[in-house]
Amino acid sequence: MKIGLIGAGRLGICLALLIEKAGLDVIASDVREDYIENLQSKVIFTSEPQVQDYLSQSKNIEFTTDNQKLIDESDIIFTLVQTPSLEDGSYDVSAVWKVVEDLKKSNIEGKSFVVGCTTNPGDCDEFQKALGIDVYYNPEFIAQGSIIKDLQNADMVLLGGKGKHTEVLEHLYYTIQLGYKDAKVHTMSAKAAELTKIAVNCFLTTKISYANMIGEVLALSKLDGEIDTVLNAIGSDSRIGNKYLNFGFGFGGPCFPRDNRAFAAHAKQLGLDYNLGETTDNFNEEHATFLKENFIYKNIDNLPFYFDYVSYKQGTDILTESQQYKLCIDLLDDGYTVYINDNDAIMDMITKDLSEKYPDTVKFGEPEEEVFPIKF
């Protein structure tokens, strides 16, 4: 059996390499010719741990820009193309429809199509109607900066849809675990799985926001020094747990904000007036303002502010909806001096633009003077 994977980006390449490592032949594609040429030479430029090692060790994986070749040669075709957010919060799945059109150009009888990118509830049913073959929804629950680790140690696997390859896909994910942990495979309809995926992340953003709300209340009650103590006590209740129950920056990155808004958009489509997703998103924005005012208030000596990272998550090269970076820009806009000392990838992204916009107030690298660190 051969597995095809269309969209070998940050997540796709990790999944492709793990499938190959599990003993299956894999062919993966991407639209970027230079990227594919590098992969063919077993070279990848990424901040994700283990990816270069796994790529160097791979023996049964092929890379191409030709989707038709991939489709013709594969028994199961995964897609992990980008699905950006639309203005109303729902997902633009036009890239998935492009893959569907590519599939329709080939003889796909007996093949299965697995959608791994985030889609709107009901989209996979439409893909199945258009194709006439088994379509599964199989999103990954990972964090940037630990994709390989998270795939190998999944709390659960979500598999929407049923068909001839259901057991094959279940076995594949058990094999990917490599004996580290037996992830529970949850099977359900594709539409229910699509809703489950965004609901999980919406629950997590709510928990993050709730912890930050408690922290704000304690800070305004002059109990700043006991925020961690209070949250640890709350998290010790087994019904709640300590994961994601920390006071700090709000949620950001390429997944949480988008899934939160998508859940809100779907609720609105159903005519629901109560909308926790929208409320959580609004609080996250307000929390960024609270943090800015709080840090300025605490910096009584008016020292330069110091960020040891501005990416949405330390150790990654992603600025998408980073509250750290937003705070940094807000402080610079207000005329404060700011030091930034992040990883090389982030520094390459921001140094030129910020230097041109804030030539007198932005500084890079380790500070050579006393500073006010942005930390919790």
Can you spell out the DSSP letters for 307-339?
ES--SSSTT----TT-HHHHHHHHHHHTT--EE
pLDDT band at 278 (very low <50, low <70, confident <90, very high): confident
pLDDT of residue 4: 98
More confident residue, 236 or 155: 236
pLDDT band at 178 (very low <50, low <70, confident <90, very high): low
C-beta separation of 130 from 104 below 8 A: yes
pLDDT of residue 180: 52
pLDDT in tens, 59-109: 999 999 999 999 999 999 999 999 999 999 999 999 999 999 999 999 999
The residue among 78, 12, 21 whose CA lies nearest residue 39 is: 12
Does the model's pTM come out above 0.85? yes
pLDDT of residue 230: 98
Question: Does the CA dihedral 4-8-14-15 come out positive or negative?
Answer: negative
Query: Which residue, chain included where needed, has tokens 């909308």?
Result: 275
Does the structure show a pLDDT above 60 at 181? no
Starting at the edge strand that comes first in sequence, how are the strands of the sheet with 362-364 ordered? Answer: 362-364, 338-340, 305-307, 372-373
Instruction: Quote the mean pLDDT of the chain.
Output: 95
pLDDT of residue 47: 87
pLDDT band at 175 (very low <50, low <70, confident <90, very high): confident
pLDDT in tens, 184-194: 889 999 999 99
pLDDT in tens, 163-174: 999 999 998 988
C-beta separation of 228 from 235 below 8 A: no
* Proportion of the chain above pLDDT 70, given as a percent: 98
β partners of residue 186: 158
Does the structure show a pLDDT above 60 at 149? yes
